[in-house]
């Protein structure tokens, strides 16, 4: 996941509710509707619609994934982030149900890898639940998430979740998020020295990132294995996090090759780290082309207003290299891989699979298909 900001990438505290005398009780209730109080009352729809553009005719079954070809446009090791809008925070398309089905057993059977809570991050988890599950989803996708009474119904899956954090554990909040959206969320919380450290997550689709082992690490510590990060980006990224304001949305794409299957849950194996020599079998050097995929992460960052946590939101896409090549992008992908600086190429594991995959990507599609036919 945390290949972020590596290639070309594109607070106030909680609002308190005043305690007033009994004759002003009605006024207090109105105030609570317009605050983010700690009493965990449900938030009303009319409070949130003005911030989010509703997709009134949305049908996820007819919605194509976004176009993503970062290998055509991105250079390497720069901070060229791009602005995003709140409405595009969460994306849903025709692959939604398949990927939710892939997430469910991971949440239930591997919570030690997929769910991370703790005293330092729990206020931010509660805040994100309010932002995503209560405010965002019913407002952005009203044909899919129907709020009524004390719950929201997901019409695509037939499940419901609470329209309030009252009575929920923080692990349950993360689980509900993971069961209803495809995005993973990583919570970078400020410490007393102003460093942002990973303190929690809902991470069903980590791209070679073992989340539990990284809890407590700063942005720089997480990126330590990434060639060139400290020298080119470390200080500027730290400063950028400090300057971010609630409401800012920025994003970029991260991409790599995954040459041993399409499963999205990967805690290792997609990136090279020191000491890994000899850790892989021959399948990395001689992969089956049918098992080779382009893995793209659409990543956004935003800062929560109450907790001040920076949220990394990661949405993963997998595309067969056969499809990439059939669409005429094989040569462009090969050129992007070959143009990587030596350190970056090594980090992306080019030294293992490059000798087989790169020549194949540059072959003409028609010639390759003809050869298949002759066999």
Give the DSSP letter string of 35-74.
S--TT-PPPPHHHHGGGS---TT--GGG-PPPP--HHHH-
- What percent of the chain is modeled with pLDDT above 70? 74
Question: Residue 218 gets which letter from DSSP?
Answer: B
- What percent of the chain is modeled with pLDDT above 90? 57
- Strand residue runs (E) in the chain: 82-83, 115-116, 145-148, 151-154, 159-162, 184-190, 196-202, 250-258, 293-303, 310-320
Query: Structure tokens of 247?
Result: 């409401």
Examine the pLDDT at 291 and tell me if it is beyond 90.
yes
pLDDT band, very low/low/confident/very high, at 337 (cuts 50, 70, 90)? very high
pLDDT band, very low/low/confident/very high, at 222 (cuts 50, 70, 90)? confident
pLDDT at 8: 36
Which of 132, 119, 234 minimizes the C-alpha distance to 183?
132
Who has greater pLDDT, 122 or 213? 122
- 5 dihedral zone (left: phi>0; alpha: psi -120 to 50; beta): left
Choose the weakest-confidence range: 2-6, 30-34, 62-66, 273-277: 30-34
On the CB side of 192, CA atoms within 13 Å amount to 0
140: three-class secondary structure by DSSP: helix
pLDDT band, very low/low/confident/very high, at 275 (cuts 50, 70, 90)? low
pLDDT at 229: 57
257: three-class secondary structure by DSSP: strand
């Amino acid at each position: 996941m945390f290949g972020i900001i590596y290639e070309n990438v594109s607070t106030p505290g909680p609002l308190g509710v005043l305690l007033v005398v009994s004759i002003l009780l009605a006024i207090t209730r109105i105030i609570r509707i317009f605050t983010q109080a700690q009493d965990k009352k449900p938030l009303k729809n009319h409070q949130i619609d003005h911030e989010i553009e509703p997709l009134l005719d949305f049908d996820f079954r007819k919605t194509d994934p976004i176009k993503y070809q970062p290998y055509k446009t991105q250079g390497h090791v720069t901070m060229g982030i791009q602005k995003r809008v709140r409405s595009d925070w969460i994306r849903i398309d025709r692959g939604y149900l398949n990927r939710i089905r892939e997430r469910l057993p991971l949440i239930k059977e591997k919570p030690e890898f997929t769910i991370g809570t703790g005293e330092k991050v729990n206020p931010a988890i509660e805040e994100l639940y309010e932002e995503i599950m209560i405010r965002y989803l019913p407002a952005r996708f009203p044909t899919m998430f129907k709020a009524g009474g004390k719950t929201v119904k997901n019409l695509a899956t037939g499940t419901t979740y609470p329209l309030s954090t009252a009575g929920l554990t923080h692990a349950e909040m993360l689980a509900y998020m993971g069961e209803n959206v495809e995005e993973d969320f990583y919570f970078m919380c400020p410490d007393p020295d102003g460093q942002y450290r990973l303190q929690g997550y809902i991470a069903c689709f980590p791209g070679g990132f073992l989340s539990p082992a990284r809890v407590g690490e700063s942005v720089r510590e997480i990126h330590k294995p990434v060639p060139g990060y400290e020298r080119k980006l470390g200080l500027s990224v730290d400063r950028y996090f400090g300057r971010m304001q609630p409401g800012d949305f920025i994003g970029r794409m991260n991409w790599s090759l995954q040459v041993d299957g399409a499963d999205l849950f990967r805690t290792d194996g997609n990136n090279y780290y020191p000491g890994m020599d000899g850790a892989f079998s021959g399948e990395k050097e001689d992969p089956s082309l049918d098992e080779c995929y382009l893995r793209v992460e659409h990543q956004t960052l935003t800062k929560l207003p109450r907790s001040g946590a920076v949220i990394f939101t990661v949405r993963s896409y997998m595309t067969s290299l056969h499809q990439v090549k059939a669409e005429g992008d094989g040569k462009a992908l090969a050129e992007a891989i070959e143009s990587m600086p030596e350190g970056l190429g090594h980090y992306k594991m080019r030294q293992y699979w490059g000798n087989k995959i790169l020549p194949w990507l540059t072959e003409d599609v028609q010639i390759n298909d003809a050869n298949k036919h002759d066999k």
